[in-house]
């Protein structure tokens, strides 16, 4: 399965997409392209003229404009179950690894599920 995920900084839906792909055990097979860092906004718009926001996901050539269409696709393909919860400890490790690779200082990292009030 070939997955490209176009994301941008400060996008909460993009953060939820990463969590969703983690639940589907597809995060390692996904290429994340950060608009504004890896590709300019102009290049993104030229490549995907019908895109109107982030995240923008392409799975095996099928364009999925947003978090909800991506989640629906993964449910339909039986890659995740609707309502399935992510393991907070696993999410925490993924976030710490990403921050480390981005050169950010890692202090206390709160899993996304706890940030939203879910414990």
pTM of the predicted model as reported, rounded to 2 decimal places: 0.69
Token reading at 41: 């906004």
102-119 pLDDT, tens digit per residue, is 454 444 444 444 444 444
- Find, among 9, 21, 8, the residue nearest to 70 by Cα: 21
* Pairing label, strands 62-65, 30-34: unpaired
CA distance 13 to 85: 17
Give SS3 for 67.
Answer: helix
* Residues 70/26, Cβ–Cβ less than 8 Å: no
Q: Select the CATH number that applies to the domain covering 3-84 from these four: 2.40.110.10, 3.10.50.30, 3.40.30.10, 3.20.10.10.
A: 3.40.30.10
54-89 pLDDT, tens digit per residue, is 999 999 999 999 999 999 999 899 888 776 555 556
For tokens 């995907």, what's the residue? Answer: 48
């Amino acid at each position: 399965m070939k997955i490209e995920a176009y994301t941008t900084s400060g996008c909460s839906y993009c953060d939820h997409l990463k969590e969703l792909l983690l639940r589907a055990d597809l995060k390692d097979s996904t290429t994340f392209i950060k608009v504004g860092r890896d590709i300019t906004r102009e290049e993104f718009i030229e490549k995907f003229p019908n895109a109107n926001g982030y995240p923008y996901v392409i799975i095996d050539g099928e364009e999925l404009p947003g978090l909800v269409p991506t989640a629906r696709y993964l449910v339909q393909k039986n890659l995740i179950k609707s309502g399935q919860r992510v393991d907070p400890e696993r999410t925490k490790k993924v976030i710490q690894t990403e921050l480390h690779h981005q050169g950010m200082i890692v202090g206390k990292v709160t899993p996304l599920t706890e940030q939203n009030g879910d414990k």
